[in-house]
Amino acid sequence: MKVKVLCRNPDDYVRETTRDIQRVPRNYDPTLHPFEVPREYTRAMNATKLERVFAKPFVAALDGHRDAVNCMAKHPTSLSTLLSGSCDGEVKVWNLPTKKCVRTLQAHEGFVRGMCARFCGTSFFTVGDDKTIKQWKMEAPGYGEEEEPLNMILGKTVYTGIDHHQKEGVFATCGQQVDIWDEQRSSPIRSFTWGASRFLTELLASCASDRSIILYDMREATPLQKVIMNMRSNTLCWNPMEAYIFTCANEDYHLYTYDMRQLSMPIVMHSDHVSAVLDVDYSPTGKEFVSASFDKTIRIFPEKKSHSRSVYHTKRMQHVICVKWSLDNKYIMTGSDEMNIRLWKANASEKLGLLTTREKQAQNYSQKLKQKFQHHPQIRRITRHRHLPREIYSQRKELHVMKEARRRK
Amino acid sequence: MTREGKYVKYVSRMMTSAVGVVFVGREEKKKKKTTSKMADAMGSKPAETHVGKEKRKSATKRYWQNTELNDPVKTEDRNHEKDSENHETSENKTERKKKRKHGPQGKKFISGKKDPFPGPAPVPEEKIRKFQRGQTSIVANDMFSDGSEILKSTLKDAEETSKLATEKAARFDLLLSEDAGFLEADEGEETCTIAQDDIADAVDITSGTKYFNLSLTQFGPYRLDYTRNGRHLLLGGRRGHVSCFDWHSKQLMCEINVMETVNDVKWLHSEAMFAVAQKKWLYIYDNTGIELHCIRRFNDVLRMQFLPYHFLLATASATGFLQYLDVSVGKQVAATCTKAGRLDVMAQNPYNAIIHLGHPTGVVTLWSPNQREPLVKMLCHRGGVRSIAVDKTGTYMVTSGLDRKLKVFDIRAFRPLQSYFLPAGASCLSLSQRGLLSACTGDIVQVYKDVWGTPVKKPYMAHRVRGAVWGAQFCPFEDVLGIGHGEGFTSMIVPGAGEPNFDGLDSNPYRSVKQRQEWEVKALLEKIQPELISLDPDQLCKVDRATWEQRHQERVKQLGYDPLAKEKFTPRHKGKGRSSSGNIEKRKRQVAHEDQRELIRQTVEEKLAKEKEIKEKEKKKAQQGQRSALDRFKK
């Protein structure tokens, strides 16, 4: 007779001392783990619910401006710095981690219409209602020194926007016409009379108040292409990853993503806002963009989706005039009518700060589960649910009814 | 938190030191073989090996020892130190070291030999199959031939990752430390004639103690239940004696007499609580014997089953009610009147949490809490059903009936596989994790091996207990069969019954209190809702292939009108007296025949289809000829 009976040595399964970690022998045999799918589904459901529970996107409000915030600029090299210009001509430089204003300067009389930082981060440009372009040092002046611009160009007309070249000392302004400036000269090196603005290496696009979007090549004397839309576009933003794609924020409550090579039709029409869209900014990954609207909300759209992924609003936030997506892809900054700059998380339920490896793993796992079961009706309902202010909710319904009626006709 | 962190590290280290562990395993096996050979040659019993303390068996290698092995400098030093102690092994090690130096560390060109086994070692196909789930290749199917490229590529990626995961799991299978038990008879001997005492003598002391009798003559006969990790045992005597204990250490947790008839006992999700079906109501006690709840909605309960992943306690009562109690929130989930009289035969399918009930008419019915009618009705026996057991993969069901037959069914296809005739019939069927079947007839317990494969002639093991058997259950993760009978309780050794390697995160017999608490929280968090109980548990991850028509109907229901319906023809209003009612009618008639034509075409098609169906049915009938008794259940 030959016999062997299962006999386990407890030493192999129990930790040796109380200071040791517990032993967890694994066996991945599927028959020992029944109900794989229902259990995963339950986990996915829990993860989705927790995501909604933890969705608290508001981080901080930066107050200090004495008028509505009209424009903002990201620092190209420092994540902690933000520039903002207000309607009374004041420019403030903010330190985001401390949530404090580090510098205030009276840049213009009247509105600060546009601002941009130089690609190296040593100086920034502002344009204002006083028909001037000013270049400022990024550092604050030393003790006893007066706040003075490095350069000042006095123009003939009001400039409404400015953007800087990403590599060279060239910038463009827009107003009555689009001007290209060399930093060293006081007169534009080129002006286009066909019509705010964004740079690509040699390309530049503008939206004009005659409802058109115009593309320019800096090397040529005449504009490249022109699209005329139904209503005026307020701003446009180039996709930082696919540089032939841009999105424009339109007055007709929608955003349009265009491929530069084919301007006859937009690739996607993004619609969820219930009022004019005032500003748009891409995330540095180019996968998503954020839009600010007159309806007091900001919305985050996936690049190729026609509806927004999430919507941020607070009771106190008024019409959002400008919005920026931070360069580390984690935060969103909004400047609004009631003089505040707000800092939001780009991913509403994300945990801030350093994560341990286990936390990261758990997060990745739940992310994957959510993705796996995303089309199940219960889970989809929870992920899509957003609370909206009553006004916006009813307006959306109304718009939907109007759209349906139009479709039926 | 830090402790948890450590524990993860430990697991990951286990994974990384995989190669080393395999190596050690092999070495051990070699040693074992040599000792057994020696024992054979000497003709000594293997039981002697552990009695005489000749040589202490070296402890199994720990993960840190393996990592040291990988470090060449350290191990060399160690080897020198150990030289005096253990000459042989150190020599072996140095040899191996040399080999390694010549192998991967030294340049390839020194020996000029190539690696005869390049690349990772292949994993056997059957091992991989064990871990495969669902369809293997979807992309190759025609279903997606006209799908988008993005969809195809994502599916391909998903397939590749799942393939990788399967392969890794199969590779990890090699590292499992324990082997299953077995019992082999000598020539001219049958395994079923080997007595329990002989087995207990032949095996090591710890295993030997697993054969024991509890003589409890006063309050019998006994029903029993093991916890899911097989550590704790609950006994319930018919005349009110309830006791629970850790049967490994024989430590008594509580012993009470409820002073009432006890019909059945069942552990709940952990060893902290158990349910007792008493004469009138269902009671829940904690492991110190304190009555926690008396549930009066559950009356006259005869049999209970606990569904561990759903936290549901299913009860079958003498009044014919099948009730489900959610023990995590204490609410009754469903109560179904089965309309089948007294329900004293009950089993659960551990694969899909379906409850099987046996009836005196010979019918077995399958129930889920979501449906008031049985999911399936099977006529299994000509007499009443005495006992049911379902295997853990949910493939086979074994039933025994008053017609003295033991039948095996494939419950995926609801087909009979085997039918055995037992002269005395069988009661108290129980299936072990590795597929052994125990059947009790009177006071004899027989264990069968592989009843669903080739027809079995003789039992694998047999044992006679002192009284009539009242309840039997295999202990999970142990080679033990617990038998409750009129004179107490017998724990019987059945080599090869239990799954040798448990999963520490699922059910761990050696878990500490902290581990149990943590497991409890996790298990409660992923409690499966009772609505998800269905015959196919994987249904949730399958593609919903609702036809276009079904979807369209749903849409019509949702919208309240048919968006695709043709608008009824309404003649345009014409002026100058041309829209008189007669004129309108005329214009309508001009197009009326088009609608009618469509209608006629439809009806004709339907008629033809019906005729065809009837013809086919008749053909089938003619081919079948004789009808069997089971045919009346076919639809």
Ordered mean pLDDT values, 10 residues apiece, chain B (635 residues): 40 35 35 40 40 50 51 44 45 50 52 82 88 69 66 86 91 88 91 93 93 92 94 95 94 94 95 95 95 95 96 95 95 94 94 95 95 94 94 94 94 93 91 94 93 90 93 95 95 94 93 93 95 92 78 86 78 85 87 83 94 92 73 72
On chain A, the residues whose CB falls within 8 A of the CB of B505 are 24, 26
User: B388: alpha, beta or left, given left = phi > 0 and alpha = psi -120 to 50?
Assistant: beta
Q: Does residue A45 have a pLDDT over 90?
A: yes
On chain B, the residues whose CB falls within 8 A of the CB of A12 are 60, 177
Residue A298 and residue A332 in contact, taking contact as beta carbons nearer than 8 Å: yes
On chain A, the residues whose CB falls within 8 A of the CB of B351 are 34
Which of A7, A21, A37 lies at the smallest CB-CB distance from B7? Answer: A21
Residues belonging to chain A: 409
B70: DSSP letter: H
Residue B47: the pLDDT is 38
Which of A5, A28, A34 lies at the smallest CB-CB distance from B351? Answer: A34
Residue B216: the pLDDT is 93
Residue A106: the pLDDT is 92
Burial annotation A304-330 (CB, 10 A radius, 16+ → b, else e)? eeeebbbbbbbeebebbbbbbbbbeeb
Residue B238 and residue B276 in contact, taking contact as beta carbons nearer than 8 Å: no
Which of A10, A29, A39 lies at the smallest CB-CB distance from B510? Answer: A10
Q: Which two tokens stand for residue B3?
A: 């402790």
Q: What ipTM goes with this model? A: 0.83
The per-residue pLDDT for range A78-129, each reduced to its tens digit, is 999 999 999 999 999 999 999 999 999 999 999 999 999 999 999 999 999 9
> How far is A160 from A209, CA to CA, in rounded Å?
11
Distance from B604 to chain A by nearest Cα, in Å? 35
Distance from A393 to chain B by nearest Cα, in Å? 21
Q: Do A38 and B528 touch (CB under 8 A)?
A: yes
Q: What is the pTM of this model?
A: 0.79
Residue A49: the pLDDT is 96
Q: Which two tokens stand for residue B434?
A: 């590795």
Residue B174: the pLDDT is 84
Predicted confidence band of residue A227 (pLDDT cuts 50, 70, 90): confident
Q: Do A5 and B9 touch (CB under 8 A)?
A: no
Q: Do B207 and A10 touch (CB under 8 A)?
A: no
> How far is A155 from A46, CA to CA, in rounded Å?
60
User: B347: alpha, beta or left, given left = phi > 0 and alpha = psi -120 to 50?
Assistant: beta
A-B CB pairs within 8 A amount to 167
| Alpha-carbon separation of residue B322 from B225, B392, B399 (angstroms) | 20, 22, 20
Looking at per-residue pLDDT, the higher value among B570 and A274 belongs to A274
A53: exposed, middle or buried (Cβ count in 10 Å: 0-12, 13-18, 19+):
exposed
